[in-house]
Amino acid sequence: MWDRDLLSGQVALVTGASSGIGRACAEALARAGARVAVNHLPAETAEARSLVGSIRDAGGEAIPVVADVSTEDQVRSMFAEVVGAFGTLHILVNNAGIQSDAAFTDMTLDQWRKVIEINLTGQFLCAREAVREFLRRGPQPEVSKALGKIVCMSSVHQTIPWAGHANYAASKGGLALLMQTIAQEFASHRIRVNAIAPGAIRTPINRDAWSSEEAAEELLALIPYGRIGEPGDIADAVCWLVSDLSDYVTGTTLYVDGGMTLYPGFRENG
């Protein structure tokens, strides 16, 4: 667990924070001393309020903020709300994402668009507002060496092709170059932009892949480290990546995947 001083004085926004990886990130950032805005969809109000309550009970500061990240007006209002409540923003964890799986020949245009709009356009809209706020606020070297930090939640499927998930793999592959391009454009302003590529993490998005013994066994065959990841594995990496401990890191993807991208099929066959 990180020390409370790690991010003290900083404000973080986590999108899709009412469950899974986003929830763990919001909790960990608050434990590391950040004031946290917990983004959620209207349907997730109860979950978001309970998360905010548990952060406050533990002595942290948090507020819930509603927005569909794929809708420009809602994203702009959400950022205005965060800046209104906390004064500015230092950290964006661009986490919200969905899957809508189908064999390629059965995938509807609606399925394609929905995944691209949330996973890729949503990250563009939030990152753009975050960069605008970092530039508006200006340097605060007593708070953080960087002007601002963005973490894009990607996936091992920015690298590994994934049959039956063309929309998802395309959204994460696109995200890799979006992240690097923003990082290149704003490095001279001391804005750091990085991605985390989780492997298989135990959350609702992939429940079918781990909830039965048989499915979990099949999944474990793809993970050299021999266990399924937990949301906290990602949250710890996020805390490091948005802290001054990683101040010289920008434009990179950190794979947190138990070795899934090490081509485990080649262990005994190659």
Residues of this chain that interact with ligand NDP (CB under 6 A) are 15-16, 18-22, 39, 41, 43-44, 68-70, 95-98, 118, 122, 153, 155, 198, 200-201, 203-206
Closer residue to ligand NDP, CB minimum distance, 64 or 147: 64
**Closest approach of ligand NDP to the CB of residue 44, in Å:** 4
Closer residue to ligand NDP, CB minimum distance, 22 or 60: 22
Under 8 Å between Cβ of 152 and 94 = yes
**Closest approach of ligand NDP to the CB of residue 203, in Å:** 3
Provide CB contacts within 8 A for 269, sequence distance 6+. none
**Closest approach of ligand NDP to the CB of residue 139, in Å:** 30
Angle between helix 122-137 and 166-186 (nearest 10) = 20
Is 168 in the active site? Answer: yes
**Closest approach of ligand NDP to the CB of residue 15, in Å:** 6
Closer residue to ligand NDP, CB minimum distance, 118 or 170: 118
Distances, alpha carbon 209 to alpha carbons 160, 169, 225, 236, in Å: 17, 17, 17, 23
Closer residue to ligand NDP, CB minimum distance, 6 or 21: 21
Q: Residue 33: which region, alpha, beta or left (left: phi > 0; alpha: psi -120 to 50)?
A: left
| Residues taking part in catalysis | 168
